[in-house]
C-alpha cells in the first residue's frame, strides 16, 4: 500500500488560555505579547529517543529526551500549568475556569517511549498528559505499526494501565484502524481514511455517504470500547490521525461517544467555542527556545491568516484533460515542476468548463450530482500540489451556475469539497453581478439586490463547504471581480459591506493594457486601512506575448502593489506553454523564495538540449 505521511500538512499551532502575556527570552530583552483570554495551548509529540539527531533525523516527528526534559523544566520555571482533558471538558461546559498559562501536553501513536521515556518525566515534574492510541496497533495490527515505529516499539495494555493508575495520564482515541491512507481517486492517491470517500477501481465509483459514515462510526466506537474496557475509563476524546477531521466526521465521532475532537491547523480555538480544537505538531527536534519562538510566531501571525503573504497562480484544469492517466500524470508533473520552480505558494484551479462554447458551464472535473464530469482530475491535482510542492489550493466556481443556469451552487460546492477535503477554500467568480457595487460609492435598489443575492449564495456555499472541509485547513472564500474600467469608487464600501473573517475580494485586470484601472486602484488603496487592504487579492491577467518594456511594466506594477502593503498577488492566466516566459520575466515578483542561492530554472535542461 502506498504510504501517506505520518502527519500531513504539518504546522506548528499554538493556542493559549487565559494568559495576559507570554514572556519572551529569559533576559527580558523582548516585549511581552498580549494574549487574548480564554485560549489554551495544545502541543502534540510523538516518539521520544535519546539518540535523535539535532538536524535531519530519520523521524521528523521525534524529539530527544534531553530536549523534552528541558522543555518541561522551562514550562515549570515560567509558570505554565499542564492541564487535563477533563479540565478542558469542564471549561467547555462553563463549569470551571482554567488556570492562567494552561498547556495540554499530548503524545500520539502509543510508542513505547511514551512509557519508557515520557512517563518518568511526567512523574518527575508532576505533569499530566494525554496519550492518543490507535487501538488496532496495540491489538496486533503490526503492519501499520511497524511501518511507523519498527518492530516491538509500542506500549502494551499493562504499561498503559500502570500509567493510568498514576493519576497523571489520560488516554484518548487515535481511531482503531484509520491511521492509514485509503484510495482516494482513480489515479491511486492514498489519503486520510477518516475524511476520505474511498474509491473502488473495479466499480469505478466512490464510497457512498452512508457507507462512509457507517465505517467511521464503527471504527471510532470500536476504539472507544477497547480503551474503556482495557483501561477502565470513559474515553471522551479523539485525536484524529494526520489531523484530518471535518465537521461531518466531528459529528460522527460524537455519535460514537467521543465529543472532544482535536485536529491540526493554524487557527487557535477557545475552550468553550467549538467541538474541535487545534493543536501544535512538534517537529524537527526543537529546543525549548525554538518552541518558545514558534509560540511567539503563532501568537503574532497564525490567528490572522488575512495577514499572511500569498503568491499564486490561477490555472484552468481543462489543460489537464488527457486520453489516459499516464498522460495526465505527465502533464501534472510538468505543471508541478514549473510551479515549484516559480516558488509561488498558492494555486487557484478552475474546476468547471464550457466545452461547447455556448457561454454556459456544462462539465466539471470532480464528481457531482448536477453537471456532467469531463474527467476526475481535481482531487489528484489538489493532493499532489499540497504534498509535493507545499501549495495551498483553492477551487473556482462561477456564480452564473446558479444565477443564470439555475443550478444550486451550495450543493455543487458540497460535492466539490466532499471529494476534495483538503481544499483551502473557494473562489466564486461573480461575473457582472458586482460591477455596479465596485463602480459606485452608493448603490441603488437594483444594485443592492444583486449584492445581497451574491452574498446569500456565498454564505450558503460556505456553510456547505465547511461541513466537509478539513478543519485543519482554515477554509476561506473569495469573491472574484473582473474590473472593466477605471470606476472603482465602490471598493471601500463593498469591503465594509459583508466581508467576514474568512472572506476576501479577488480583483482581476491587466494593468498594462488598462493602466487607467491600475491608477484608479492605487488611489483607492491609499484610502483603505491596512486591515481592509489585507482583505484584497490582486491578480494580473498577463499578456504572454508582451514586449520587453511591457514585461518591465508588469514587474513595476507588482512592486507597486507590494509597496502599498498588498499581501496577496498572483497571475490570473497561467498556462503550461507560457511557463518559461513567466519564469524568466516575473520570477522575482511572484516568488516567495527569499534566497537567490536556491533558485532553479526548470527550462535550462530543455535549452541545453536545443543547443546540442
Encode pLDDT of 300-348 as tens digits.
544 455 556 889 999 999 999 999 999 999 999 999 999 999 999 999 9
Residue 602 confidence (pLDDT) above 90:
no
13 pLDDT tier (thresholds 50, 70, 90) = very low
What pLDDT shows up at residue 102?
85
- Cα separation, 41 vs 46, in Å, equals 17
pLDDT the model gives residue 501:
56
Q: Which residues contact 178 (CB under 8 A, 6 or more apart)?
A: 134, 192, 193, 194, 216, 219, 241
Task: Tell me how far apart the alpha carbons of residues 151 and 243 are, in angstroms, rounded to a whole number.
Answer: 25
Q: Which residue has the higher pLDDT, 594 or 568?
A: 568
pLDDT of residue 97: 83
- Evaluate if residue 169 carries a pLDDT over 50: yes
* pLDDT (tens digit per residue) in 115-135: 999 999 999 999 999 999 999
Determine the average pLDDT of the residues in 383-404.
Answer: 96
Rounded to the nearest angstrom, the gap between the alpha carbon of residue 154 and the centroid of all alpha carbons in its chain is 30
Residue 50: the pLDDT is 94
- What integer pLDDT is reported at residue 365 of this predicted model? 97
When mean pLDDT is compared across 16-20, 237-241, 314-318, the lowest value belongs to: 16-20
Segment 530-560, tens digit of pLDDT:
888 988 999 999 999 999 999 999 999 999 9
Handedness of CA 86, 87, 88, 94 (dihedral sign): positive
**pLDDT 10s digits, 271-309:** 555 678 888 888 899 998 888 876 666 555 444 555 568
Tens of pLDDT, residues 472-514: 877 889 999 999 999 999 999 998 886 665 689 999 999 999 9
Over residues 185-211, the pLDDT tens digits come to 999 999 999 999 999 999 999 999 999
Concatenated DSSP letters of 28-57: --SPPEE--SSB-EEEEE--EETT--SSS-
Rounded mean pLDDT of 94-111?
89
Q: How many CA atoms lie within 13 A of 244 on its CB side?
A: 26
DSSP string, 195-260: T-PPEETTTTEEPPHHHHHHHHHHHHHHHHHHHHHHHT----EEE-GGG---HHHHHHHHHTT--E
What span, in angstroms and rounded, lies between the C-alpha atoms of 531 and 523?
Answer: 17
Specify whether domain 312-611 bears CATH 3.40.50.300.
no
Q: How many residues are listed for the chain in this entry? A: 612
Residue with cell 467549538: 274
Region 146-171: what's the mean pLDDT?
93
Query: What is the percentage of the chain residues whose pLDDT exceeds 70?
Result: 87
Answer whether residue 257 shows pLDDT above 80: yes
9, pLDDT greater than 50: no
**pLDDT score at 295:** 64
Mean pLDDT of 587-608: 75
In the chain, where the domains are located: 21-302, 312-611
Query: What pLDDT score does 3 carry?
Result: 45
Q: Do 21-302 and 312-611 show the same overall fold?
A: yes
pTM: 0.88
CATH fold group of domain 21-302: TIM Barrel (3.20.20)
- Specify the higher pLDDT residue, 17 or 610: 610
Confidence (pLDDT) at 24: 38
Q: How confident is the model at residue 359, as a pLDDT?
A: 92
Q: Report CA 43 to chain centroid distance, whole Å.
A: 18
pLDDT at residue 94, as a whole number: 83
Q: Which residues pair with 111 in a beta bridge?
A: 154
| 29, pLDDT greater than 80 | no
β-strands 181-183, 33-34 pairing = unpaired
Confidence of residue 406 (pLDDT cuts 50, 70, 90): very high
Report d(CA 231, CA 41) in Å as an integer. 26
Give the three cell numbers for residue 366. Answer: 470532480
Task: Give the pLDDT score at 42.
Answer: 85
In this prediction, residue 450 carries a pLDDT of: 93
Q: What is the mean pLDDT of the chain?
A: 87
Amino acid at each position: 500500500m502506498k504510504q501517506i505521511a505520518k502527519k500531513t500538512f504539518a504546522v506548528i499551532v499554538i493556542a493559549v488560555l487565559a494568559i495576559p502575556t507570554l514572556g519572551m527570552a529569559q533576559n527580558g530583552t523582548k516585549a511581552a505579547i498580549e494574549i487574548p483570554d480564554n485560549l489554551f495551548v495544545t502541543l502534540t509529540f510523538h516518539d521520544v529517543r535519546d539518540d535523535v539527531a539535532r538536524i535531519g533525523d530519520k523521524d521528523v516527528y521525534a524529539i530527544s529526551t534531553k530536549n523534552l526534559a528541558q522543555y518541561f523544566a522551562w514550562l515549570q520555571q515560567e509558570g505554565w500549568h499542564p492541564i487535563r482533558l477533563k479540565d478542558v471538558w469542564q471549561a467547555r461546559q462553563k463549569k470551571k475556569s482554567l488556570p492562567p498559562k494552561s498547556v495540554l501536553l499530548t503524545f500520539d501513536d502509543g510508542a513505547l517511549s511514551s512509557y519508557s521515556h515520557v512517563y518518568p518525566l511526567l512523574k518527575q515534574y508532576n505533569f499530566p498528559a494525554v496519550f492518543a492510541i490507535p487501538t488496532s496497533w496495540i491489538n496486533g495490527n503490526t503492519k501499520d505499526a511497524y511501518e511507523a515505529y519498527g518492530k516491538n516499539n509500542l506500549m502494551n495494555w499493562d504499561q498503559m494501565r500502570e500509567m493510568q493508575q498514576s493519576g497523571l495520564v489520560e488516554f484518548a482515541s487515535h481511531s482503531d484502524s484509520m491511521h492509514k491512507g485509503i484510495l482516494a481517486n482513480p489515479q491511486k492517491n492514498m489519503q486520510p481514511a477518516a475524511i476520505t470517500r474511498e474509491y473502488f477501481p473495479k466499480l469505478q465509483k466512490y464510497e457512498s455517504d452512508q457507507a462512509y459514515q457507517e465505517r467511521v462510526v464503527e471504527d471510532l466506537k470500536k476504539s472507544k470500547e477497547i480503551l474503556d474496557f482495557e483501561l477502565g475509563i470513559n474515553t471522551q476524546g479523539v485525536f484524529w490521525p494526520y489531523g484530518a477531521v471535518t465537521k461531518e466526521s466531528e459529528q460522527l465521532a460524537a455519535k460514537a461517544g467521543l465529543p472532544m475532537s482535536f485536529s491540526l491547523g493554524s487557527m487557535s480555538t477557545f475552550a468553550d467555542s467549538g467541538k474541535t480544537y487545534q493543536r501544535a505538531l512538534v517537529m524537527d527536534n526543537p529546543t525549548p527556545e525554538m518552541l518558545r519562538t514558534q509560540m511567539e510566531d503563532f501568537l503574532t501571525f497564525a490567528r490572522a491568516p488575512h495577514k499572511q503573504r500569498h503568491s499564486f497562480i490561477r490555472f484552468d484544469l481543462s489543460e489537464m484533460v488527457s486520453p489516459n492517466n499516464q498522460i495526465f500524470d505527465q502533464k501534472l508533473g510538468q505543471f508541478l515542476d514549473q510551479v515549484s520552480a516559480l516558488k509561488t505558494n498558492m494555486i487557484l484551479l478552475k474546476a468547471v468548463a464550457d466545452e461547447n462554447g455556448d457561454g454556459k458551464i456544462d462539465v466539471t472535473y470532480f464528481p457531482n450530482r448536477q453537471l456532467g464530469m469531463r474527467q476526475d482530475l481535481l482531487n489528484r491535482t489538489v493532493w499532489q500540489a499540497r504534498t509535493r510542492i507545499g501549495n495551498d489550493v483553492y477551487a473556482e466556481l462561477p456564480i452564473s451556475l446558479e444565477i443564470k443556469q439555475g443550478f444550486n451552487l451550495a450543493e455543487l460546492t458540497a460535492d466539490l469539497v466532499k471529494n476534495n477535503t483538503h481544499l483551502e477554500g473557494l473562489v466564486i467568480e461573480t461575473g457582472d453581478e458586482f460591477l455596479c457595487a465596485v463602480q459606485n460609492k452608493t448603490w441603488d435598489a437594483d444594485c443592492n439586490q444583486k449584492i445581497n443575492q451574491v452574498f446569500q449564495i456565498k454564505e450558503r456555499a460556505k456553510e456547505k463547504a465547511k461541513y466537509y472541509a478539513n478543519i485543519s485547513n482554515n477554509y476561506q472564500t473569495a469573491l472574484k471581480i473582473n474590473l472593466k474600467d477605471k470606476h472603482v469608487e465602490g471598493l471601500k464600501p463593498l469591503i465594509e459591506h459583508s466581508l467576514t473573517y474568512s472572506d476576501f475580494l479577488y480583483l482581476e485586470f491587466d494593468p498594462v493594457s488598462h493602466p487607467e484601472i491600475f491608477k484608479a486602484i492605487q488611489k483607492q488603496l491609499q484610502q483603505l486601512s491596512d486591515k481592509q487592504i489585507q482583505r484584497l487579492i490582486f491578480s494580473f491577467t498577463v499578456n504572454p506575448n508582451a514586449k520587453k518594456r511591457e514585461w518591465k511594466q508588469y514587474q513595476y506594477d507588482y512592486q507597486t502593489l507590494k509597496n502599498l502593503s498588498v499581501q496577496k498577488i498572483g497571475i490570473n492566466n497561467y498556462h503550461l506553454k507560457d511557463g518559461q516566459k513567466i519564469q524568466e520575466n516575473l520570477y522575482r515578483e511572484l516568488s516567495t523564495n527569499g534566497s537567490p542561492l536556491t533558485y532553479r530554472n526548470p527550462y535550462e535542461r530543455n535549452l541545453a538540449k536545443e543547443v546540442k
